[in-house]
Structure 1
Amino acid sequence: MSDVLLSAKQLTKRFGGLVAVNQVSVDLWLGRIHAVIGPNGAGKSTLTNLLSGDIAPSSGSVTLGDTDVTGRGPDRISRQGLGRSYQKTNIFLPFTVWENVRLAAQSRGAHATNLLSRAASLGDINARAERALELAGLQQRRQSIAGTISHGEQRQLEIAMTLATEPRVLLLDEPLAGMGVAEAERMVALLQRLKSDHAIMLVEHDMDAVFALADRLTVMVNGQVIASGTPPEVRADANVQSAYLGEEH
């Protein structure tokens, strides 16, 4: 069986006369991190939104596992095994860390819509939340109010919530944005732990983290792919040097 968990072919998104993503193809493999880089306005977040179903493509296709999910909404795609984080942290600030993760796990439970069920009594949901909390490295913060933990921990919490839905494909949109050195190191370590059991697409501006993590890179400029390959191949590409990376890389 193929280890390609998500495949996008010739994706294009037009907003009126603007072509935000222009015939972009990408394959996400189990056990690999595929980083998408490029300057602001390159189309990276639009590509992520196309893959997750947040917006529908103008043309092209998206296959998740063996299923064509082109044009399906984000809830349906998520339930088929795709999880994502956003540029802006998306958590419940008044709730504890544990409550945030448990709510995410409960959304996938058999009793997700049963308002009369006691959440604490749902053992399978609690076990799923516990695994996600442990994998994200937040066990010691479980009873902390989400709004009081650090920015880096909030980003970890968002990933923990995503993991609680048990995805196989992760789309992570700038997970290191705004972090200090220590927080960024913890996030890099977390992504390395997640790699073996997931196919990951990473959109990120931190080039040190990108080159430390990525097995494959795609470089976008003005909605188009200008290079794709291994990190050494992309680093040496003259077009990439001129358009984005600069001589220091």
Structure 2
Amino acid sequence: MTAPEPHRFVAHVVEESTNKIHEDDVARRYGFSGALVPGVELFARTTTPLVAAWGVEWLSRGRIDLRFRRPTYDGDELLVEPADGRLTVSHPSGEVRCVGSSGLGAERPDLTGYRQVAAPPEPVADPVVGPMGSVSEAGTAERNEWYLNAIGEPLDLYRREALVHPGLLLRLINELLMRNVALGPWIHTSSDCRFLGLARLPVELSAHGRVTDVGRRGRHDEVRYDALVFAGDEPVLHVHHTALYRLDAA
């Protein structure tokens, strides 16, 4: 099996985000030097060398966990270095921005208990342990093409095989939080993912989740939740997801 090779890319804030932490003035109020690149877009481009090496096999039964350790800003050049199952994403200065691991043959997680749950009439101020309201969206070739261009994905596989990009699948996991919790600026901090099958276009995508823990990380409020993404009736992605859902600017 081909080993993934190091890969360079330029990180971008993708337009369309409703999270104000991805805007310069708001991010500076929280102590950052500018708009933060969303974790989901860092995740999306970290998958590039993995898919280049392992193709549809990884997209249908691979795994990746990624933790975002330091802020990344629009236009930063990053280097993804896969080695012996580990992943490091670093800036030319040597600062490590993300760490994690990846591989093939992911153990299938327990998929029981994930079901369609009606979204709350209004997002709540604070999440509680238990089911989250489900979300869905149409997976179309047009939206996939927009995303491939927006993140600068170099692989032709997604167009050739009509496959939903994993970054779009993970965006739906973020959408779960945004539909269920009333958010101000917030930060996605980690994702531990298991791919379960291929999402081929066009397809209706849906995500179901449950909050597993709510607590504090330093000055900020943190939520952990598990989620399962379906392409039509087939599960395609399982994620343990973590985010700082309320930030303290003090």
| TM-score category, normalised to shorter length | under 0.3
More helix by share: 1
TM-score, normalised with respect to structure 2:
0.25
TM-score, normalised with respect to structure 1:
0.25
Name which structure has the greater RCO, CA cutoff 8 Å, separation 6+.
1
Larger Rg: 1
